[in-house]
Amino acid sequence: MKVKELKAKTPVDEIELEIVSKAEARSFASAQGTGKVCSAAAKDEDGDEVSLTLWNEQIDEVVEGDKVKIEQGWVNEYQGNLQVSTGKFGKMTKL
C-alpha cells in the first residue's frame, strides 16, 4: 500500500514507511490506563509523507531514517491530516 492510497477511518493491510522526523513523546491517561504517544513524519518509497503515531515501546524502537512496516494498522484523520498507527490489533516491524 502507498500513502496516496490511504483514506481516513480505513484499515491498512500493510505499508512500508521511512521515519523522516519524530516529535517529543508525551504522556497520556485514559480509561484504559496511562502511556506515552509520539507523532512522527514518515514517507513511502515514492516520497509521499504521512503522520505516523507511535505508542509506548514503539517510540524507543525507531529513530529518524529507520524503515518500518505497519501491518493490520489503521488510518485516522486529525485536523485534516491523515495519521497511520498500528491501532488496537496491528503491529510495527523495524526493517
pTM here is 0.91
Count Cα neighbours of 12 within 13 Å in the Cβ-side half-sphere. Answer: 31
Ordered by start, the domain boundaries in the chain are: 3-94
DSSP annotation of 61 reads H
At the top level of CATH, the class of 3-94 is mainly beta
> Tens digit of pLDDT per residue, the chain (95 long)?
999 999 999 999 999 999 999 999 999 998 888 999 999 999 999 999 999 999 999 999 999 999 999 999 999 999 999 999 998 899 999 99
